Amino acid sequence: MTLDFSKGLIPAIIVEDATGDVLMLAYMNDESYQKTLDTNTTWFFSRSRNELWNKGATSGHFQHVKEIRSDCDNDTLLIRVDQIGAACHTGAHSCFFNLEKEVTEK
Amino acid sequence: MTLDFSKGLIPAIIVEDATGDVLMLAYMNDESYQKTLDTNTTWFFSRSRNELWNKGATSGHFQHVKEIRSDCDNDTLLIRVDQIGAACHTGAHSCFFNLEKEVTEK
């Protein structure tokens, strides 16, 4: 499918292939998406630094792409990866370590 | 944690609690996040319609919130839900039914 970049950057949800854990979310533009396809490692567009980055280039924590899916609107990506080391820059396995709410009642 | 809405809307990744499947991604502003907390069903902000919507209000396919996490930057949400019916407006279980690439080689 042709991805729809018309609303700007596309969020890419990164899932660990072996566990199904959601590791992180980062943004892609068309160029970073093409580099991801070409290299089978994840490339993103940094909104704060306004530049492309290859996840793992400085940390060694590369994400090797196993599968790429897009959603019904073609404006979100779901990418399954083999994660080398920690996904989060804090050293955590996943970026989603802040528990905001838990609903325990039935 | 206090969520960071300074860059605009926050993407919310919706995961089915029972299966771990990533169902969809939609966007929240502060008001829709508060309504999600208050009602334990998901509320989003539609970028195309420029209004809040309660997932399931028209389809009956509500998402009952089990857990809410935020990421290391407090600008992405990961929400585990009990999904009633289909998550996708197409009737699909998950919105991520378009396979873009599969990497099978070792």
A72/B98 CB distance under 8 A: yes
B100/A89 CB distance under 8 A: no
A97/B65 CB distance under 8 A: no
Q: How far is CA B38 from CA A7, B4, B41, in A?
A: 30, 19, 8
Nearest chain A residue (CA) to B71 = A96
Give the ipTM of the model, two decimals please.
Answer: 0.96
Q: In this predicted structure, what is the pLDDT of residue B1?
A: 72
Which residue numbers in chain A have pLDDT < 50? Answer: none
Q: In this predicted structure, what is the pLDDT of residue A105?
A: 72
3-class state of residue A35 by DSSP = helix
Q: In this predicted structure, what is the pLDDT of residue B106?
A: 59
Mean pLDDT, chain B, whole residue set: 96
Which residue is associated with the tokens 């991805």?
A3
CA torsion sign for A61, A62, A67, A70 is positive
How close B41 gets to chain A, by Cα (Å)?
A: 11
A76/B95 CB distance under 8 A: yes
pLDDT tens by residue, B47-82: 999 999 999 999 999 999 999 999 999 999 999 999
Confidence of residue B19 (pLDDT cuts 50, 70, 90): very high
Indicate the pTM of the whole model: 0.97
**CB pairs A-B closer than 8 Å:** 106
